[in-house]
């Protein structure tokens, strides 16, 4: 079936739940209402004319800091050899959509990944935990407005080459244990770095002179 026919079939069946059809896109997509995901997906899989038996990919998406989040379902039918992309947009503050784990088992881990990295909640998922990040990680890394946490269990997270910063960090009473361990060495390190740099500059100056 062509994407147009698939869209027509869904339009006839679900009516208002079908929001948009992108026939011109590289991968033709159908944008659907978030509240109807489960019924539409069940229909797509079980209907004999469509029989989308495989979910190729389920991806989370962040359309920008002020825009919505989204979920993209890339579907494929091994029997009929046709493809379609479903997209759903979700509000940033209340990103909730029904899980399709009961339709395609492979959605299980893909939804956990989207939850982990985008903070999209999949209702009815049997085991919605973080999968790639650790359980107590803060924030959702792939969101566009993500700010990495300063410390994780006392370990400094963002990597900085700036040794000056370590110096101020060492004086901070709420420092992490990494800095604490090397506290005595940090000023020396800073000095040696500075000296090393300045010595290098001097030698370059000499050679230039």
Partner 1 sequence: MFGNLFKKKRYIFEDESTMVVDLDQSAGRYYEETMSKLEIESYQGDEMVVNMGPQHPSTHGVLRLELVLDGEVVKKVTPHIGYLHRNFEKHAESISYNEVVPYCDRIDYLASMNQDLAYVLAVEKLIGLNELPEKVEYARVITCELNRIASHLVAVGTFGLDVGAFTPFLWAFRDREKILDLLEWLSGARMLYNYIWVGGLARDLPEGWLQKVREFLDYFEPKMVEFNKLLTTNHIFIERTAEIGVMTPEVAVSYGCTGPVLRGSGVKWDLRKDEPFSYYDKFDFDVPVGEGKFGPVGSVLDRYLVRIDEMAESVKIIRQALDGIEPFTAQDVQAAIPKRLRPAAGAEAYVRSETPRGELGFLIRSDGSDVPFRVKSRSPCFSNICMIDDISRGGMIADLVLIIGSLDIVLGCIDR
User: By the criterion CB under 8 A, which residues form the site for partner 1?
Assistant: 25-27, 29, 53-57, 59-62, 72, 74, 78, 81, 85, 104-106, 108-110, 113, 117, 130-134, 141-142
Of 133 and 186, nearer to partner 1 (C-beta) is 133
Of 144 and 185, nearer to partner 1 (C-beta) is 144
Q: How far apart (Å, rounded) are the C-alpha atoms in residues 144 and 70?
A: 13
Of 98 and 111, nearer to partner 1 (C-beta) is 111
To the nearest whole angstrom, how small is the minimum distance from the Cβ of residue 161 to partner 1?
17
To the nearest whole angstrom, how small is the minimum distance from the Cβ of residue 41 to partner 1?
13
Of 104 and 166, nearer to partner 1 (C-beta) is 104
Q: How far apart (Å, rounded) are the C-alpha atoms in residues 178 and 47?
A: 58
To the nearest whole angstrom, how small is the minimum distance from the Cβ of residue 188 to partner 1?
32
Of 148 and 189, nearer to partner 1 (C-beta) is 148
b/e code 5-16 from CB counts within 10 Å (16+ = b): ebbebbeeeeee
To the nearest whole angstrom, how small is the minimum distance from the Cβ of residue 142 to partner 1?
6
To the nearest whole angstrom, how small is the minimum distance from the Cβ of residue 204 to partner 1?
30
Tokens 């659907």 -> residue? 32
């Amino acid at each position: 079936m062509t994407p147009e026919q698939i869209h027509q079939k869904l339009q006839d069946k679900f009516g208002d739940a079908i929001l948009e059809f992108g026939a011109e896109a590289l991968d033709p997509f159908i944008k659907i209402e978030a509240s109807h995901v489960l019924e539409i997906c069940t229909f797509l899989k079980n209907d004999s004319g469509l029989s989308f038996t495989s979910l190729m990919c389920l991806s989370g998406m962040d359309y920008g800091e002020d825009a919505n989040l989204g979920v993209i379902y890339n579907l494929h039918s091994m029997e009929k050899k046709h493809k379609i992309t479903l997209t759903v947009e979700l509000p940033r503050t209340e990103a909730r959509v029904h899980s399709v784990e009961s339709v395609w088992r492979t959605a299980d881990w893909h939804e956990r990944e989207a939850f982990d990295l985008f903070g999209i909640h999949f209702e009815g998922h049997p085991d919605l935990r973080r999968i790639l990040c650790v359980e107590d990680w803060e924030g959702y890394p792939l969101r566009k407005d993500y700010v990495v946490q300063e410390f994780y269990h006392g370990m400094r997270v963002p990597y900085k080459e700036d040794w000056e910063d370590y110096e101020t960090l060492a004086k901070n009473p709420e420092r992490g244990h990494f800095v604490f361990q090397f506290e005595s060495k940090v000023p020396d390190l800073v000095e040696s770095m500075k000296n090393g740099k300045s010595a290098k500059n001097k030698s370059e100056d000499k050679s230039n002179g």
